[in-house]
């Protein structure tokens, strides 16, 4: 876990799935992270402008280049998108609340999500990523996934407590990506 301000409930969701966690600070290099020989890397949520997180963006770029199973939530989504060559922008009105709907544009399945972010991402498709979840209110990105590598991220909080719980399956998807 690269800790950018990780929420305890994210950690609880991994522990509940019997995942052994090693938590490292935001300023660890790719080499320092990989020295632990992780099965996968989770980039956490946190506050602020993702473009200012230069070190973690470089770590994400190397995780992508080396096909390391990677998951991100909120700021982690933005970091992965920037590591893939995308860009971030400040939303005119941040997405805040526990009942925000996102849709999978391919399957048309909707999920009710908890959101609390003021930045969003775009233009991350050049490195093999595609948008797999979209905000129905403003069509902004709510999730990206690599087409051939075990890497994905979401902008919202699937772990939010007291809910909604529609997207808790994403933790299981990451475990599948790690082949555990």
pLDDT tens string 114-152: 999 999 999 999 889 999 999 999 999 999 999 999 999
> Angle between the 54-65 and 75-83 helix axes, to the nearest 10 degrees?
60
Q: Does residue 146 carry a catalytic annotation?
A: no
> Where do the H-state alpha helices sit in the chain?
8-16, 30-34, 54-65, 75-83, 169-177
- Residue 129 CA, chain-centre distance (Å), reads 13
Regions of the chain short of the pLDDT cut 70: none
Closest by CA position to 133, among listed 92, 178, 173, 90: 173
Residue 50: the pLDDT is 98
Give all domains of the chain, ordered by start, each with its CATH number: 2-177 (3.40.50.880)
Given the residues 95, 117, 146, 157, select the one marked as catalytic. 157
Q: Does residue 53 carry a catalytic annotation?
A: no
Residue 80: the pLDDT is 98
Q: Does residue 125 carry a catalytic annotation?
A: no
CA distances from 95 to 52, 84, 136 (A): 20, 23, 12
Given the residues 127, 131, 142, 159, select the one marked as catalytic. 159
Given the residues 74, 95, 117, 131, select the one marked as catalytic. 74
């Amino acid at each position: 876990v690269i800790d950018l301000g990780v929420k305890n409930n994210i950690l609880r969701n991994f522990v509940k799935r019997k995942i052994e966690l090693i938590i490292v600070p935001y300023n660890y290099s790719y080499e320092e992270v990989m020295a632990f020989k992780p099965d996968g890397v989770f980039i956490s949520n946190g506050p602020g402008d993702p473009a200012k997180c230069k070190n973690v963006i470089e770590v994400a770029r190397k995780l992508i280049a080396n096909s390391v199973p990677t998951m991100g939530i909120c700021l982690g989504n933005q970091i992965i998108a920037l590591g893939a060559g995308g860009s971030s922008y400040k939303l005119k009105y941040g997405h805040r609340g526990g009942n925000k709907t996102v849709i999978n544009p391919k399957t048309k399945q909707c999920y009710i999500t908890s959101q609390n972010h003021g930045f969003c991402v775009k233009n991350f498709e050049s490195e093999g990523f595609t948008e797999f979840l979209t905000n129905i209110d403003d069509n902004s990105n709510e999730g990206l996934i690599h087409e051939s590598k075990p890497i994905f991220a979401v902008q919202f909080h699937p772990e939010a407590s007291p809910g909604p719980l529609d997207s808790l399956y994403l933790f299981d998807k990451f475990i599948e990506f790690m082949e555990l």
